[in-house]
Structure 1
């Protein structure tokens, strides 16, 4: 039997054997569930390429939607054998975007270890003898007539000091919403200063016991969220929204809390804050922070807020004008606490920890009197936090 005939017989056999092995040992990597009402997203960034070895639950790539980014994890350990989607491509939930061959990680680790050992073994090399050479003088460059050249085609030399990055879908969505807010609302900002002495004293006195009993730290956000909910009950227009020829009032207080993540700003919502205690608020904030860090926040957890609190003070901001989160009508900005000279209730000049706060509001439905009254109410509650604890607000 000729070799050509043998090849004709063997090729289908090998093909079938390969398909059998691939079906048995190759695993598909699919677009995971993103969130309710989201059926697709865009490939943001591939962390791995074909030929790379990957461990189970290690990130393969990012899938971006207009509201959140989810991480695609490897279902098992193995070697990436195929990638079928490119960065920026729209992909549906459940679509296979890559394949990996199982059981290759240990082999890869052992081969890498062997390579490292070979690299670490020093090689003996003979020291070359130094030979004196007389430097030849360089000839002067010949001058030539200027040549016409397309400037756009010239490749730049030297260090590049400009970088261009494709914006993520989330970043684009944030930009669109903020610009829409700027173009739609008649934004105005009012300011005040708050003496944080009593709240800091209360926190220092009970923080260890609070942490031990409830498993979370006692921060400032719970006090400001609670104070905002109580102040809104007195000035309900702050919690309303503009709807064409109507003003929509909300008889509940859902506060959006701005949280910074590597992929952008997210605003999970504390529901029914008017019914929550300090403990409830702190536990929920910790839960949101963990989910935001791991990109596990759902669309439902980031939708439907009626008022927003942004704490730029954690980054050192001394003062600023926050921008409204549409379709809301107001946002409270917290800033860094600084020691300043302060006139106390007895008329004495003392050094106190002072926080500047800013309220940006939509002047289409909120008047200055209402904005100033609301911010003054928050100041009163924070400077005397016992009023919130004993329901004296």
Structure 2
């Protein structure tokens, strides 16, 4: 095939050689060779398809390409990112080699099994060391003759050269006037609008929240918690915990442990509805709400009934970091029997959280504020947190919901009770 193409080019050369310069003929032959070389590379290339993401996910949006045509990649190196309604999925190179073709554009909808890009296998060469450029010393030495010649020729009179310098001032004034023109174009009270396409995750969050609002018979009950004892305990042991376990002791682990114990006493708050049946769970999988730039996600801390403060704290910190780095997997968010949401880190004082279906309840934590309260007939200042429990009234009666929240309050106000509770 190659020889036939070269013969054809040679025959055609005589037809236009009289009118085209030799450089044109060489360029034409070069283009033909490159086109055939490119085609042969595509035939040898390996096609990478959109991977399986989960049973419930069949498509996503191609959010970004990390590599472009001509880039070299190592095996398992990230090439593209696909955004789904739950997580971001990375597509990696199957082998080491060179990207030869991209088969989809950013913001395209892609489906599982669809061809995504082609890569030609080959050893990735290391980047060559930078060589010193030879022309640089020559360019540096070029001004030297002018420098040596300048003393031999006396400079012209400064009065003659100074007059042409004067017109430079209007030029500077013209440059200074540009910012004024740009500023004047921005009219105060502008009514511009910006439209941004909703991400798949945001669309899914909206769908789930509306589904919860429509399906559950939601009701919220509130209580106040005196945080004095828990604050004192944390202040006393946080340095020791940080030194021995390399984690910062926070309040979330205490609330997680308190909720776990309360759920064992009020099992309906840990149940869910499936059809016309109530499913009671013997385990506690806590969904912990974490705010990320793409929206609220709820990774799951599993089997908290078997964990102590430090184990829960480590897992929460690990999942929170994965969430903020966009590294959560579907397994990290699947399931969950009860949710804790902490709006207090953003300054929220009151709020009614929305149930994360098919769960039956969610606890909302809020900011700690010093308030005057009555203790033993005396008005004292105490750090108070308002907590809210939103529950599905189809499953929980008011008595059970209030009892659950009171038990959480009692555990937090006297953390020693949690140490006495059996695992």
**CA distance in structure 1 between the aligned counterparts of 2:380 and 2:415, rounded to whole angstroms:** 20
**CA distance in structure 2 between the aligned counterparts of 1:126 and 1:44, rounded to whole angstroms:** 57
| 1:228 is aligned to 2:259 | yes
> 53, 68, 85: which one pairs with 1:66?
85
TM normalised by structure 1 equals 0.76
Distance 1:162 1:99, change over 3 A: farther
**CA distance in structure 2 between the aligned counterparts of 1:218 and 1:19, rounded to whole angstroms:** 60
Find the counterpart in structure 2 of residue 372 from structure 1: 402
1:299-333 deviation per Cα after TM superposition (whole angstroms, max 9, x unaligned): 12211111100000011111100000000110000
What's the secondary structure of 2:273's corresponding residue?
strand
Structure possessing the higher radius of gyration over alpha carbons:
2
In the alignment, is the contact (CA less than 8 A) between 1:43 and 1:64 conserved in 2?
yes
In the alignment, is the contact (CA less than 8 A) between 1:197 and 1:352 conserved in 2?
yes
In the alignment, is the contact (CA less than 8 A) between 2:272 and 2:359 conserved in 1?
yes
> 200, 215, 220: which one pairs with 1:184?
215
Distance 1:162 1:208, change over 3 A: same
**CA distance in structure 2 between the aligned counterparts of 1:191 and 1:377, rounded to whole angstroms:** 13
| 1:266 is aligned to 2:285 | no
> 7, 13, 33: which one pairs with 1:4?
13
In the alignment, is the contact (CA less than 8 A) between 2:50 and 2:111 conserved in 1?
no
In the alignment, is the contact (CA less than 8 A) between 2:65 and 2:106 conserved in 1?
no
Find the counterpart in structure 1 of residue 382 from structure 2: 352
What's the secondary structure of 2:61's corresponding residue?
strand
Specify every segment of 5 or more residues in structure 2 that has no aligned partner in the other structure, as ranges.
1-9, 15-24, 137-163, 171-188
TM normalised by structure 2 equals 0.71
| 1:295 is aligned to 2:304 | no
Deviation at 1:34, TM superposition (A): 6.7
Distance 1:338 1:76, change over 3 A: farther
1:279-304 deviation per Cα after TM superposition (whole angstroms, max 9, x unaligned): 11011111101211222222122111
The number of aligned residues is 351
> 260, 266, 269: which one pairs with 1:238?
269
What's the secondary structure of 1:70's corresponding residue?
strand
- Larger helix percent: 2
Find the counterpart in structure 1 of residue 206 from structure 2: 175
Find the counterpart in structure 2 of residue 139 from structure 1: none
> 75, 85, 97: which one pairs with 2:105?
85
Find the counterpart in structure 1 of residue 167 from structure 2: 128
**CA distance in structure 2 between the aligned counterparts of 1:316 and 1:238, rounded to whole angstroms:** 27
In the alignment, is the contact (CA less than 8 A) between 1:79 and 1:104 conserved in 2?
no
**CA distance in structure 2 between the aligned counterparts of 1:61 and 1:371, rounded to whole angstroms:** 47
Deviation at 1:202, TM superposition (A): 0.2
> 331, 336, 354: which one pairs with 2:362?
331
**CA distance in structure 2 between the aligned counterparts of 1:60 and 1:176, rounded to whole angstroms:** 30
